[in-house]
Structure 1
């Protein structure tokens, strides 16, 4: 019976420890992945903002104050991205190290218990009472340690359950600066808001620069004059680029005759002329290849910044952390709670089996000694 309990306990302990370790690593890897995606997206926004500073359409660039603001927000973005990535990786590494240590400790404990049970059985069979008593002393120490480990894992099981409950509560009522920040910290709200505003401002200004060039240069029909850009532009008028924002940065709907980010460069290719060596159009067209490339660069950067708008909105209210915690609670928490429970149940079964074995060894050794003593008297 004791052998059966011990065997089942070891199986439950070994299986639970392995699955708990695997489940925890999967959860940590998922958290690190989410943090990496967010950090990488922030870095991409920073790169596109930096690229916007170098954009020039027909020598027209962003306003100096906008370029200065880009430098300021870039520093904040890089700091937030670095902090998010570093803190998440550090917390993940600390938890993994602790898991490895606990896993090694459980394996050592199980191996020692198994070896001790084998020796105790042999010594009790051969009637080596002194060695049996010595093993009993060691066994009780080991049983006490195993029960302590059992209690620790019971506490760990409760901590996992409480953390999962806390995640659910945080998802429903997000709170700044909680213990959950140690798992996956939110990006600074002020930085997220400022970054969102700056991306809208840059997008709005880049589109305005392109549209001013289209209206004031590309679509103008005039003979060569001093101070006026002329390259023999002619033919159908070039459609202007749709600005997704009004001057106050509120959302704006495109109107008829405008092209949006998704097809602007392709549509404008139909208006490219064949230029001479001096840059003057030899064939009908509104754009030279050089001017088209400059406008295409402005469109690409504007579109990239515009697409990151929803991501930056999610950073403001920490939606990416909320989504991560929701996924963990739904997909990972059940396994973590189940497998941590297996560990302390396995430890309890092993501890109980060893404790009963210790009692059996003492009884069996005494009984054997009593038989030998009685036999000697009868002889």
Structure 2
């Protein structure tokens, strides 16, 4: 069961990786870095509070079975199967890997194959036992020979041997494609997790830079620096936790996938060898080894039928998971079984992360504007040093602060420079300075002040651009985008190749099972044919002697 959950969960492995991050204490996160093109970068923010959930794009909802209180059953129609543990009533709980009845109902779809394995093992075992008893205890009669039976047994033996070879080829091809598809899916999810780690660390570095950022010896308030330090510590801890657990768990799953691949290759090779050697020895008439192979094949066929059932179950779970991911992406506001694994609704964490990024961005822009307004644009007498450094000329335009003092969004006003053109505009206000630090040409910014202002502006802009997306992991937008990509790109291949493995196993087990039967039949007919030839030869020789002189 652990193996099935591991392999079947590869399409949804991203929810596991991201849940690690969310379950970390007071985790903060950032998705891939985007740049806004203007306007309000917080379209779903109302009064500074992030809405309960949002998705990256609007998708028409798929039909499903709604429950009360905005609950939603994932893959309801597809998972509607008989549940033996509930008096064979139809299971209605939808996709839920933590639900016992889900696993019982999906396992019941493979029950026919398990029954075939059991019936084959018991019936053929009884036949072998009775055959041994008859061979050892019953008197032997003169064998009868039929040319039709001999020819048909040879034809069927050849046909089922070829079918076994084809089945082994299908199984080998299917396992290779399945391993390639699951590995690509795993690599993609791990790449998304690593991208999250990189953005967490980048955001942490931006905050660290903001904490020590100052312009003309004006810095952020001490209490705000302490808050930033606390947030940076949490960010780094979350990034390290996600990185370490992603590496560990992805390696474990990759090892499972490799083990499954090697196991299927061994199964294909053993069954191919058994079918070919059994056919060859039957043709050559080496009966003792043929009977030994029959006993070995009897056990292997039963095991292969059980493996068929396991992969049929796996195919159904993979398909259920892909459908569940589609519906989960399409219904962002409903409560589903995935909410027990992905605690996306962490509003307080989302709001605090967003608020802190906006607050620091506002304060840095405010520090820059204070220097411009109170120092650079002032006309001080020489005795007012260090406020006086012989600044002169046109006034320096202030930086457009994208937030008000209450951290609400504001538009840029006329005469303000934006984050994008501030460094270029301010360069025209830089003066040449003497060794004493005084301007020797027209200008209101010294090179050091200009560099500090540009650095503070860049950090403020970085936090501003990160802000709209800080909640994409908490509200599962980033996970939804990942699921959507997996569903569109990887799920078709996962379903197709897991089904191909199942088909290959059915072909191999059925062909080898029938080959075993015709090994015995053909060996018997061949022995009878040889006996009859010898008997006829002996009779003809005796008749010739009787007619002699």
TM-score normalised to structure 2 length: 0.66
Q: 2:241 maps to what in 1?
A: 83
| CA distance in 1 between partners of 2:444 and 2:346 (Å) | 46
Decide whether the 8 Å contact of 1:276 with 1:282 is kept in 2: yes
2:366 aligned to which of 202, 208, 218: 208
| CA distance in 2 between partners of 1:240 and 1:254 (Å) | 11
Give matches, 1:50-69, under 5 Å.
50-69=208-227
Structure 1 pair 180–148 and aligned structure 2 pair: CA distance change class (3 A): farther
Q: 2:398 maps to what in 1?
A: 240
| CA distance in 2 between partners of 1:154 and 1:376 (Å) | 51
Structure 1 pair 181–96 and aligned structure 2 pair: CA distance change class (3 A): farther
Give the length in aligned residue pairs. Answer: 378
Give 1 or 2: higher helix fraction.
1
Decide whether the 8 Å contact of 2:345 with 2:475 is kept in 1: no
2:423 aligned to which of 262, 265, 272: 265
Decide whether the 8 Å contact of 1:193 with 1:316 is kept in 2: no
| CA distance in 1 between partners of 2:373 and 2:527 (Å) | 110
Q: Any idea what SS the aligned residue of 2:472 has?
A: helix
Decide whether the 8 Å contact of 2:161 with 2:279 is kept in 1: no
2:382 aligned to which of 221, 224, 227: 224
The superposition leaves residues 82-120 of structure 1 with CA deviations (integer Å, 9 ceiling, x where unpaired) of 233333333322221111111101111111111112221
| CA distance in 2 between partners of 1:208 and 1:258 (Å) | 13
| CA distance in 1 between partners of 2:202 and 2:345 (Å) | 15
| CA distance in 2 between partners of 1:291 and 1:73 (Å) | 28
Which structure has the larger Rg? Answer: 2
- 1:15 correspondence with 2:176: no
Give matches, 1:318-337, under 5 Å.
318-337=476-495
Decide whether the 8 Å contact of 1:76 with 1:191 is kept in 2: no
1:49 aligned to which of 207, 228, 250: 207
The superposition leaves residues 295-320 of structure 1 with CA deviations (integer Å, 9 ceiling, x where unpaired) of 11101111111111122032331210
Q: 2:7 maps to what in 1?
A: none
Q: 1:373 maps to what in 2?
A: 531
Q: 1:274 maps to what in 2?
A: 432
| CA distance in 1 between partners of 2:187 and 2:439 (Å) | 57
Give matches, 1:111-126, under 5 Å.
111-126=269-284
| CA distance in 2 between partners of 1:41 and 1:125 (Å) | 67
Gaps of 5+ in 2: 1-158, 539-549
Q: 1:31 maps to what in 2?
A: 189
Give matches, 1:101-250, under 5 Å.
101-174=259-332, 190-226=348-384, 229-250=387-408
The superposition leaves residues 338-369 of structure 1 with CA deviations (integer Å, 9 ceiling, x where unpaired) of 11000000111111111111111100111111
Decide whether the 8 Å contact of 1:273 with 1:284 is kept in 2: yes
Q: 1:73 maps to what in 2?
A: 231
Structure 1 pair 257–337 and aligned structure 2 pair: CA distance change class (3 A): same
TM-score normalised to structure 1 length: 0.94
| CA distance in 2 between partners of 1:365 and 1:319 (Å) | 66
Q: After TM superposition, give the deviation of residue 177 of structure 1 in Å.
A: 9.8
Decide whether the 8 Å contact of 1:189 with 1:315 is kept in 2: no
Structure 1 pair 354–147 and aligned structure 2 pair: CA distance change class (3 A): same
| CA distance in 1 between partners of 2:300 and 2:172 (Å) | 18
Gaps of 5+ in 1: none
